[in-house]
Amino acid sequence: MAKRRVTLPKLPSLPKGDDSPTKSDVFKASERSEIMKKVKSDRNKSTELRLIEEFRRRNLVGWRRKVKLFGRPDFVFPKFRIAVFVDGCFWHGHDCRNTKPKDHAEYWRVKIERNRNRDRAVTERLTKLGYEVVRIWECDFKKANVAKLEEKLRPILEAAKRGRDANL
């Protein structure tokens, strides 16, 4: 099977900002830019920890983290072929609240659209590989969204139940 490459739009450049003495930053704008380019995220830790709590509360076992699978899912249930992504509402463009920045709006619009395109491509590819993809939004962990979280976890719960029933 030939790998199809996902083409993402190029991000517009951010203005460099001014280096006026009235700024509160101790670095020049160009220095701050270089520092920030080196910052790499290591996942959305707080929401992932909350999901681990949900897995444990529901006695869901068999999940793995940091599995080297296309798209880098946050959790994988290898036995059930389920890949779980915990997506931050801002970074993945969820419309649960008004989080559209006014500064550098075009840059952020393009960046978030790239993330959404990549999410669609990852979901499509994993589905073709035989995985069921579950995407959980950060806001699904709020108390008002308990029903949404329950709905998102349903495929995992059903697969676990089938697995337990098969072992009886």
* Per-residue model confidence as pLDDT tens digits over 5-42: 667 677 777 656 555 555 566 777 778 778 777 776 66
What CATH number corresponds to the domain at position 142? Answer: 3.40.960.10
Polymer length of the chain: 168
DSSP H or E run through 163:
helix 146-167
* Per-residue model confidence as pLDDT tens digits over 137-163: 888 887 767 788 888 899 888 888 887
**Strand locations in 7-131 (E):** 75-77, 82-87
Q: Please, are residues 28 and 16 in contact by the beta-carbon 8 Å criterion?
A: no
Q: Please, are residues 113 and 103 in contact by the beta-carbon 8 Å criterion?
A: no
Structural domain total, the chain: 1
In a domain, 20, yes or no: no
Q: Please, are residues 89 and 137 in contact by the beta-carbon 8 Å criterion?
A: yes
Q: Specify the higher pLDDT residue, 139 or 164.
A: 139
In a domain, 16, yes or no: no
- The pTM for the full model equals 0.74
